[in-house]
Amino acid sequence: MKKILLVSDTWTPQVNGVVTTWKNVINHAEKRNIEFEIIHPYMFRNFAWPFYKEIGIPVVSYKTIKKRIERINPDFIHVATEGILGWHTRKFCNSKNIPFTTTYHTKFPEFLKSLYNIPESFTYKIEKIFHSSAANILVNTPTMKKDLTSRGFQNLIEWTRGVDRDIFNPSKDIVLKKELDPSKGKKIILYVGRVSKEKNLYEFCKISEKKDDYQLVIVGDGPIKEKLEKSFPKIIFVGYKFGEELAKYYSTADCCVFPSISDTFGNTIIESMACGTPVAAFPVNGPVDIIKKSISGYCDSDLIFAIEKSLQCEEQDVIKSVDKYNWDRCVEILLESLKSSK
């Protein structure tokens, strides 16, 4: 049995695309008799990131991480994030001349610019240094690979995603539809994800002030939820939903909106499409690779226009658009990347 060490600065109880991706990857990899060991923030004393209490920052020394990696003695090492744990692991691997691979999950330059106005050029320089030691860097889409290549990143490998079709499939809920739209005359426009500034949610919420024939629904939670609830009283906030209950929200909605401009993929996009619901988004890395124009949704700088075009998509066409996304292929690419790193 091969043992893979995954190092991630984000893990449960956090709810985000990185955690969702790796939980599924591990589940499918273990079916192949592959063992995972995980180093994550909640194994150590940690504190909440200022202004973002959902993120735990571990208080841990390099020496502690070094000892833990040596005790685990993995066959392969993969670093999922560029946080404290990632930097400690990078230092260990470089000091021992041990190859490791990384993932480029989040566009942190854009993320930090939106939160703290840190110049993107500065953060990209730091990220380039971090990933320069990796034997391979897994990236989510062709456009992301092209973008990073233009910035001088090397050894980039395109990595896919998967969606559990046993859970995410068309399952419209008449009762839920009545709860969300008692008047039976509005289109249900859905957002699923973290309720935070970097998700560009204000652009989504402003739609509620412009379209009386839309009922906006937000599934998720986060640091700006209370502020948005007060600012946009017409929007329905339902908190986090998971599994089959989440699938019912996707299926019952007429359109799902992905307003983020800093994500590199968007698991919620393919979850929604698997449920037969088209997705509207801005024309940025991630959505433009996943959403087939006028078939599974629409990308446009005008979100309302993108929604209107998405509403014209046929359910069966939307569902077929996710056929190429599966977790087994995701695991295969990861394993190929790890093996080629040796």
Please report the pLDDT score of residue 29 as a whole number: 95
Please report the pLDDT score of residue 202 as a whole number: 96
**Tell me: the pLDDT tens digits for 35-69?**
999 999 999 998 887 766 777 889 999 999 999 99
Does 168 fall in a domain? no
Does 247 fall in a domain? yes
Cα-flanking dihedrals φ and ψ of residue 230, to 5°? -75, -35
**Inter-helix orientation angle 243-252/267-274, to 10°:** 70
**Tell me: the pLDDT tens digits for 130-168?**
999 999 999 999 999 999 999 999 999 999 999 999 999
More confident residue, 28 or 115: 28
Split into its structural domains, the chain has a count of 2
Say yes or no: 22 and 139 in one domain. Answer: yes
| Structural domain span for residue 105 | 3-162+326-341
Tell me, what CATH number does 291's domain have? 3.40.50.2000
Closest listed residue to residue 200, CA positions, set 260, 288, 258: 260
Say yes or no: 157 and 116 in one domain. Answer: yes
CB 298 within 8 A of CB 278: yes
Say yes or no: 157 and 223 in one domain. Answer: no
Does 253 fall in a domain? yes
Say yes or no: 190 and 59 in one domain. Answer: no
At residue 31, the 3 state secondary structure works out as: coil
Say yes or no: 47 and 182 in one domain. Answer: no
Please report the pLDDT score of residue 183 as a whole number: 81
For residues 187-221, one letter each, b for 16 or more C-beta atoms within 10 angstroms of the residue's C-beta and e for the rest, the string is bbbbbbbbbbbbbbbeebbebbeebeebbbbbbbb
Closest listed residue to residue 331, CA positions, set 1, 26, 78, 5: 26
**DSSP-assigned beta bridge partners for residue 188:** 215
Mean pLDDT for the stretch of residues 6-15: 93
Say yes or no: 55 and 89 in one domain. Answer: yes
Say yes or no: 313 and 331 in one domain. Answer: no
CB 278 within 8 A of CB 318: yes
More confident residue, 342 or 259: 259
Question: Average pLDDT over the chain, rounded to whole?
Answer: 94
**CA gap 261, 188 in Å, rounded:** 22
Please report the pLDDT score of residue 55 as a whole number: 78
Please report the pLDDT score of residue 144 as a whole number: 94
| pLDDT > 90? residue 210 | yes
In the chain, the N- to C-terminal Cα span, in Å, equals 17
Mean pLDDT for the stretch of residues 102-115: 86
Global pTM value: 0.92
Of 45-54, 85-94, 259-268, the poorest mean pLDDT is in 45-54
